[in-house]
Structure 1
Amino acid sequence: MKRNMDQWTKDLLEAPVKKAVPVLSFPSIQLLGITVKELINDSDLQARGMKAVADRTDAGAAVSLMDLSLEAECFGAPIRFSDDEVPTVTGPVISTEVEEDERMAQAEALAVPEIGAGRTQIYIDAIGKVMDMIEDRPVFAGVIGPFSLAGRLLDVTQSLIYCYEEPDMVHVVLEKCTQFIIKYIQEYKKVGANGVVIAESLAGLLSPALAQEFSGDYCKRIVEAVRDESFAVIFHNCGNTANITLESMFSNGANAYHFGNAVDMAEIMEKAPADIICMGNVDPAGEFRNGTPESIRAKTLEVMENCCKNKNFVISSGCDIPPLSSWDNIDAFFAAVDEFYARG
C-alpha cells in the first residue's frame, strides 16, 4: 500500500501516544514453526512471517529481516548458517595477509554485484509479496549500511585500523558498497516498500571525525538517492560511540534514527533536536532473549519514563530481536507500552 511517508513521519512526531516500532522479524520462526535457515531462503515464508508478527502485535511498522550477512555474501564473503541464529560473515573478501598495494589491487578489482545475486532476490520478492498482506502499517525493508558492509568485506577489526593506515583503500571499497546499497534499496522501492531500515552498526565504533568521513558522507548519499515523499529511511546505529557522533548521523537526512542499548537513551534525547525522531533502546539480548516478562516490563517502563517526555521519542528494541526470543517477553514489551500510555 502506497503511503505518504513524509506525512507518516510528521504524524509520528506529533502523536501523543506512539506505537512501538521494534526491529522484530526473526522471532517469526516460532510463530511459523520453522528454522532460521528455512526463513532466509524462502520469500513466501518471510512474507508470512512478517504478516504473523503484524497479526500478533500492534507495532507501528512492519520491519523485515535485519540479515547483515546478505550483502556481504553477494560480494563473495563466506557465511555461516544455522537453524537458530542469524547468519554471520566468517571471513573477509579483501585479504588481511597481503601487502598494502596488493590489498588496494583487490579492492579496485572488487566487482559491484548485480541485484539478485546471492539471496537478495528472495528478500526483494518477500517485500513485494507482503505488501499485499499488510495494509494497516508501513512496511520497511532492511539493508546494511556502507561502513558496516565494508567492514565485513575487510574484516571488522582490521577495517577500523585501515581507516588510519590505508584510508584510500577503504574509500575504494566504500564507493562500491554504496553503489550496491543504493541499487538494492531502489529495487525495494520498485516492489512497493514504504521505506528501509539502514543498519550502520559498525560506524558506532568510529570517532566523530572518522564517522563522518567513512560513514556519514556515504550514508547521506544513500539517503538522498532513495528517500522521497513515499519512501522513508530509518537509520540504525547500535554502537557505543553513537552518542558522540550524533552530528554526523543527523546530517544524513533520514526520517528517523534508531539507537542500540550500548548508549543511554535519555542522553541521546537530551542531545537530539526536538524535530528529529529517535527510537530505542530495550536490550534485545539481555531482555527480549534472556530476560523475563517481569524484567522486560520494568526495563521498558524505565526507558519510557526517562524518554517519553520528549515528543520525538519512540520506544523500540535496541537492535534486531534474536530469533529464539520468548514471545512471552515480546508480548510483555508491548503490554508495558500500553501500560505506560494508559497512565495518561
Structure 2
Amino acid sequence: MSYSYKEWKKHCLETKESFLVLSFPAVQKLNVNVEMAVKNAEVQSKMIETIMEFCPKQAAYIGLMDLSVEAQAFGMEVQFSEREVPNAKGVIVKSLEDARALQIPDVSKNRTQVYVDAIKLVASRNKDKPIFAGTIGPFSLAGRLIDVSEIMIQAIMQPSLVHTVLEKVSTFIEQYILAFKEAGADGVIIAEPLAGLMSKEMVQTFSGNYLKKIIDKVQDDHFSVIYHNCGPSTVSSLEEIYSIQAHGYHFGNAIDLEDVLSKTSEDILVFGNVDPVKYFCDASKEEMDVKVKELFEKLGKYPNWLISSGCDIPSHAKWENIEQYFKSIEKWR
C-alpha cells in the first residue's frame, strides 16, 4: 500500500480501530509451534496473513515480536521453545575491552534476515493496511548484552562502557529498521522496556538520545516508528520519551494510561493497554468484555487514544477472547 502516516493517523482517530500487538497466537491456526515460526520466514508471513484474515478490524498488522533475535545476532546464546518466545541467555560484555571489541553484525547474515524476509513476503502480497515490523530498543538490547542488573550499575560507575555498547547496538538497530523499510514495512515498533526502570535523566542519556538519532534516520511520512515501554517509571519520563518524536507511543498494562493521557498533547497517538496474559489467556469472554468497556469509559474521552494490548499476546492466548475483544470494541466504542 501507499502508506502515509498523516492519513493513517486520521483514519485511526476516526475509526478507533485497535492496534493489537498480535501475531504469535496464529500458530494455533496454522498448526505450527513458536520455534518453527521464529526460524522460518514463510511461516511468519502466513502467521501475519492469518491475523489479517481473522482480525480485519486491526488498524495495522504486526510482525512477530521476538526480542532475542538482535541479541543472538551479536553472539548471545538463545534458548528456543515450542510454546514460548525465544530467550537470550548469558552475558557477552563484561568489560570496557569487551565493549570495544564488540562487532556490529550483518543484518543479512543472521536470523534477523528471516524477519526481514517475512515482512517482504507479506508486503508483496498484501496492500490493504499498514504492516509494522518489530525490534528491540538500544538500551534494552545493551542490557541483554551486558546483563540487565549490571547495566544499571555500569551506567553510574562506568558510563563509557555502556555508551560504547549503545553506539554499536544503535547502529545495528538502525540498519535492521532500514532493511525492514526496504522490504516494504510501513513502520516498526521499537520495544524499550528496560528504559522504564530508569530515572528520567538516565532515560534521556542512555535511551532517548540514541532513539532520537535512529528515528531521525528512518522515520518519515511513509514510515512510522511506534515506541513501546512497559516499565513502572515510564510516566515520570514522558517528556523525555516524547522528545524522540516517534509517530506513536504504546504503553504496557502496568502503566496508568489515564495518567499518561492527562499529561499528553492530543496530537500524540497513545496505544494501550489490556493485560495480554490476564485477559487474552486466562480470562473469560465476559471478563474481556467488561475490561474493554471499562477502558472505553475511562479513556474514550481522549481523542488520541487507541485500544491495544499492553504487550505482545502469547501464543497460547484463547482465540475466543481475541474475537471477543474485537466484538467488544464494536459494542462499546
Q: TM-score, normalised by structure 1?
A: 0.94
How well do the aligned residues superpose, as a CA RMSD in angstroms? 1.0
Equivalent runs, 1:329-344 vs 2, <5 Å:
329-341=321-333
2:281 is aligned with 1:283: no
Which residue number in structure 1 is paired with residue 120 of structure 2?
128
Cα deviation per residue 1:194-249 (whole Å; 9 max; x = unaligned)? 11111111111111111110001111111111001210111111111111111111
Q: Which residue of 1 aligns with 2:61?
A: 62
- Secondary structure at 2:261's aligned position in 1? helix
| Residue identity in the other structure for 1:201 | P
Provide the identity percentage. 42
The 8 Å contact of residues 139 and 166 in structure 2, kept in 1 or not, is answered as yes
1:271 matched to 2:269: no
CA distance, structure 2, for counterparts of residue 215 and residue 241 of structure 1: 14
1:158 to 144, 147, 150: 150
| Alignment partner, residue 16 of structure 2 | 18
Is it true that 1:5 corresponds to 2:34 in the alignment? no
CA distance in 2, matches of 1:270, 1:39: 39
Query: Within 5 A, what are the aligned runs for 1:107-186?
Result: 107-186=99-178
**For residues 31 and 133 of structure 1, what CA distance do their matches in structure 2 show?**
20
Residue 308 of structure 1 corresponds to 300
Per the TM alignment, residue 298 of structure 1 is displaced from its structure 2 partner at its CA by 1.2
- Map 1:213-252 onto structure 2 (within 5 A): 213-252=205-244
**Cα distance per residue 1:69-120 (max 9 Å; x no partner):** 010000011111000000011111113xxxxxxx000000000001123211
How much does 1:68 deviate? Answer: 0.4
Q: What SS is found at the alignment partner of 1:174?
A: helix
Displacement over 4 Å in runs of 4+: none
Aligned-partner Cα distance in 2 for 1:300–1:228: 32
CA contact (8 A) 1:54 1:134 kept: no
Aligned to 1:198: 190
Shift of 1:309: 0.5
- List alignment gaps of at least 5 residues for structure 1: 96-102
Q: Does 1:29 align with 2:27?
A: yes
Shift of 1:293: 1.2
Contact 2:12 2:59 in 1 (8 A): no
**Distance of 1:297 and 1:142 partners within structure 2:** 28
Could you tell me how far 1:157 is from its partner in structure 2?
1.5
Instruction: Tell me how far apart the structure 1 counterparts of residues 184 and 2 of structure 2 sit (CA, whole Å).
Output: 7
AA in 1 matched with 2:325: F
CA contact (8 A) 1:233 1:254 kept: yes
Secondary structure in 1 matching 2:90: coil
Native 8 Å contact 1:269 1:278 kept in 2 = yes
Gaps of 5+ in 2: none
1:39 matched to which residue of 2?
A: 37
Could you tell me which amino acid in structure 2 is paired with residue 5 of structure 1? Y
CA-to-aligned-CA distance 1:35-79 (integer Å, 9 cap, x gap): 000001111110010000111012110011110001000001111
Cα distance in structure 2, aligned partners of 1:94 and 1:293: 46
TM-score under structure 2 length normalisation: 0.98
